[in-house]
């Protein structure tokens, strides 16, 4: 926190977990890029409180980080979580009108929620966030395989809920603004076969719909340290914010 101007537990709604932790660069600037981080935990554990680890390398380069809180299961249900994350973005855009582009970053369940943000009809929210990029890390993009696993014990999803909240089933043709949004779909070498399959298929589906997509298979990492390394200055996924487009180009050559 010493390297950032920090505002913790900022409410974006009335719910107990509808709060944001905001880490602004120490050097005041009229405009700044904003990275919105959405935590994982299979939609039922972890919180924004463990999500500030990526702030130091970002704020040192003039990028603000916001960690989003949402109601996890069993209190929260899938429709509500998706809605909460979308509302948090609308709140941020209204609070910081001079944002120089919004970048999404989510891990595992958080990547699912970030992907659902990409499918948002913003006319319902009265604002249109300037989403310039998304870093989706080891995500879940089809919820139906979860229905008959222990993960759904807390989520209690029906097939209908799973279908309407599956990014794979919500891919829409990229509008002009969306076509300029660069999406990085990253997966770990040691992720499970299902995580790897879903990442590859979702990335291909976005690309087929006209989105700008880079698929990244990161060697030597698993489902957890692929995101924990965001605390490192030199880590490849840390190179986001203003540099995301050039970072994607360098990643695609790697």
Q: Which residues are known catalytic residues?
A: 108, 191, 223
Q: 129, exposed or middle or buried, with CB in 10 Å at 0-12, 13-18, 19+?
A: buried
Residue labelled with tokens 């089933």: 169
Sheet holding 32-38, edge to edge: 4-11, 19-25, 64-68, 32-38, 99-107, 131-137, 182-188, 212-218
Geometric angle at alpha carbon 37, from 85 and 22, rounded to 5°: 90
CA distances from 110 to 2, 4, 24, 220, 239 (A): 26, 23, 21, 22, 19
């Amino acid at each position: 926190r010493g390297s950032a101007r920090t505002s913790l537990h900022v409410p974006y709604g009335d719910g107990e977990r509808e709060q944001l932790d905001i880490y602004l660069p120490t050097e005041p600037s009229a405009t700044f890029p904003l990275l919105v981080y959405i935590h994982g935990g299979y939609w039922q554990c972890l919180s924004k409180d463990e999500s500030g680890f990526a702030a130091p390398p970002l704020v040192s380069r003039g990028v603000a980080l916001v960690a989003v809180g949402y109601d996890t299961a069993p209190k929260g249900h899938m429709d509500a979580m998706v809605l909460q994350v979308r509302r948090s973005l609308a709140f941020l855009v209204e609070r910081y009108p001079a944002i120089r582009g919004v970048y999404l970053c989510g891990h595992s369940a958080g990547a699912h929620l970030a992907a659902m943000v990409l499918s948002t009809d913003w006319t319902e929210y009265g604002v249109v966030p300037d989403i310039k990029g998304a870093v989706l890390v080891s995500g879940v993009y089809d919820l139906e395989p979860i229905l008959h696993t222990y993960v759904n014990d807390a989520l209690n999803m029906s097939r209908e809920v799973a279908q309407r909240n599956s990014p794979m089933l919500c891919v829409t043709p990229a509008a002009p603004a969306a076509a300029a949004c660069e999406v990085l779909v990253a997966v770990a070498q040691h992720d499970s076969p299902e995580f790897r399959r879903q990442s590859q298929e979702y990335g291909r589906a976005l690309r087929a719909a006209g989105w700008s997509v880079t698929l990244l298979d990161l060697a030597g990492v698993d489902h957890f340290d692929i995101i924990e390394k965001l605390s490192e200055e030199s880590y490849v996924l840390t190179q986001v914010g203003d540099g995301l487009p050039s970072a994607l180009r360098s990643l695609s050559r790697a």
